[in-house]
Amino acid sequence: MSIRAKICGLSTPEAVDAAVAGGASHAGFVFYPPSPRNLTPAAAAGLIARLPGHVTPVALVVDADDAAIEAILAAAPVKIIQAHGRETPERVAAIGSRFGLPVMKAVGIAGPEDVAIAHAHEVVADLLLLDAKPPKKGLPGGNGLVFDWQLIAGEAWKKPWFLAGGLTPDNVTLAIRTAGAPAVDVSSGVERAPGVKDLDLIAAFLAAVASVEG
């Protein structure tokens, strides 16, 4: 089975092209003003236009209300909404119902209780993203933090899921094998500075993922 890979926080044509060339299955665009990866919907639309049909554009939002999501969708033709804040299962269900798009729910993992929370979201989300739990003060993602992959090793999931949290070209193969991940997500792990993607690191990360596929 091929391992899918999402490069998140893309903000330049060169980074988008590198993700496509390396074989990414998903391209993530951040709509969260405090993030160094934040884009306007119009800017994201220009980048999404560069994607071939087999690469899925994803909108990352954080506790966004309906008006904010509407503004994104009015300009940027994303195919998945990634809820990366403190959204409850009820809110996740409401987003999916309101906008008619699949919703990926990010859940921070630090202990067994967080795995249980992820399963609660699994009932309503179309996809899950299992990430490291963010610090109490700071961004909700893209922090380069790793969680203990053994917490989810052997766990059975009913929905498609991505592994995230501190992944890099150097550790992603071990992460995939340890967690049994069918898909991975990276942002800060392929950057040379916050929000600045490194094209060589994108290529190396995707090559490392591809090496597991055999």
Catalytic residues: 8, 131
**How many angstroms separate the CA atoms of 133 and 163, rounded?**
12
Q: Which helix (H) or strand (E) holds 188?
A: none
**How many angstroms separate the CA atoms of 168 and 162, rounded?**
14
Q: How far is CA 11 from CA 42, 79, 93, 143, 205, in A?
A: 12, 17, 28, 17, 18
Going 22 to 213 to 169 to 114, the CA torsion angle's sign is positive
- 3-state DSSP percent of the chain in helix, strand and coil, to 5: 35, 20, 40
Q: What phi, psi does 13 have (nearest 5°)? A: -60, -40
**How many angstroms separate the CA atoms of 109 and 32, rounded?**
21
* 1 burial via Cβ count (<10 Å: 0-12, 13-18, 19+): exposed
- Choose among 79, 80, 107, 205: nearest CA to 163: 107
